[in-house]
């Protein structure tokens, strides 16, 4: 896999997918942030893997912004030869958070999507095995990492 710097990647991706990109920036030679539209999310992910060489999934997680009524889902990807990290993000509607699963693209995102599902209530379409990862199966207390989670335990 050829080497590419984070700044070059930013330019190249913006050129390749001008419509998909909501915002893209590289604040640091080892970091790049990319926010894409909801619709072109899956295609952009496939392009990242196949054309840009982000072969290595690192992690995935979400963050809740109740004031803006959105949940941002973040995937952490690594470029194995040039060793910079891309945070690949998408904004979801907080009332009905659903999005296509990236498990078909990066297999190892399975655990992280399961975690985001139970912690934030995000529905992932086409996830092969959506069962709780960390919380007990009989858990009924809601989604703990949402900002309005108050309860402790079963309710």
Partner 1 sequence: MMTEEQTIKRAFDNVPGSGAAYNLIDFIAGWSRKYSIWPIHFVTGCCSPEFMQVSGSRYDMERLGVLPFASVRQCDCIMVVGVVSRKMALRVKYLYDQMGDPKYVVAVGACPTGKGPFRDSYAVVAVDDYVPVDIYIPGCPPRPEAIIYGMMLLQEKIKKERRIGVKD
Partner 2 sequence: MREPMIKPDVMRISWGPQHPMSGQTRILLDVDGERVHRIIADLGFTHRGIEKILENRTFFSGIIPVDRMAMVDTANMSIGYVTAIEKAAGIEVPERAKWIRTLVCEMSRINSHLYAFGLQAESTGYFPAVFLWTTVDREILLDLFEELTGARWSFNFFFPGGVHQDLPDGFREKVLKAVKYLRGRFKDYWGAMVENPLFENRCNGVAILEPKDALRLGATGPVLRGSGIDIDMRRDEPYDAYGDVEWEVITEDACDVMARTKVRFHEIGQALNIMEQIAQKIPDGPVKGRVNAFMRVPEGECISRVEAGRGELGFHLFTNGTGNPYRVKINSPTLRNMYVFERLAELNEVFIADIPVIINSIDPWYLDADR
Examine residue 149 and tell whether it contacts partner 1 (CB under 8 A): yes
- Minimum CB–partner distance for residue 152 and partner 2 (Å): 9
- For 94-130, the DSSP string reads SSS-EEE-STTTSTTHHHHHHHHHHHH--EEET-S--
Complex with partner 1: residue 16 or 135, whichever CB lies closer: 135
- Minimum CB–partner distance for residue 43 and partner 2 (Å): 20
CA gap 69, 124 in Å, rounded: 19
Examine residue 30 and tell whether it contacts partner 2 (CB under 8 A): yes
Convert 89-111 to b/e letters by CB count within 10 Å (16 or more is b): bbbbebeebebbbbbebbeebbe
Strand partners, 73: 62, 90
Q: Where are the alpha helices (DSSP H) in the chain?
A: 6-16, 41-50, 109-120
Contacted by 83, from partner 1, partner 2, none: CB < 5 to 8 Å by type: partner 2
Site for partner 1 in 101-140 (CB under 8 A): 135-136, 139
Contacted by 38, from partner 2, partner 1, none: CB < 5 to 8 Å by type: none
Binding positions for partner 2, rule: CB under 8 A: 30-31, 55-59, 61, 63-64, 74, 76, 78, 80, 83, 85, 87, 106-108, 110-112, 129, 131-136, 144-145, 149
């Amino acid at each position: 896999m050829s080497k590419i710097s984070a700044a070059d990647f930013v330019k190249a991706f913006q050129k390749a997918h001008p419509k998909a990109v909501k915002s893209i920036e590289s604040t640091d030679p080892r970091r790049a942030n990319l926010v894409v539209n909801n619709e072109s999310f899956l295609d952009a992910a496939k392009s990242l893997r196949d054309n840009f060489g982000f072969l290595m999934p690192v992690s995935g997680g979400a963050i809740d912004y109740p004031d803006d009524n959105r949940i941002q889902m973040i995937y952490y990807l690594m470029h194995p030869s040039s060793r910079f990290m891309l945070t690949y993000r998408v904004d979801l509607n907080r009332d009905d958070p659903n999005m296509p699963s990236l498990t078909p693209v990066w297999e190892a995102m399975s655990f992280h999507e399961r975690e985001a599902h139970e912690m934030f209530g995000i529905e992932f379409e086409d996830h092969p095995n959506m069962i709780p990862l960390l919380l007990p199966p009989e858990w009924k207390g809601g989604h703990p990492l949402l900002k309005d989670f108050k309860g402790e335990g079963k309710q």
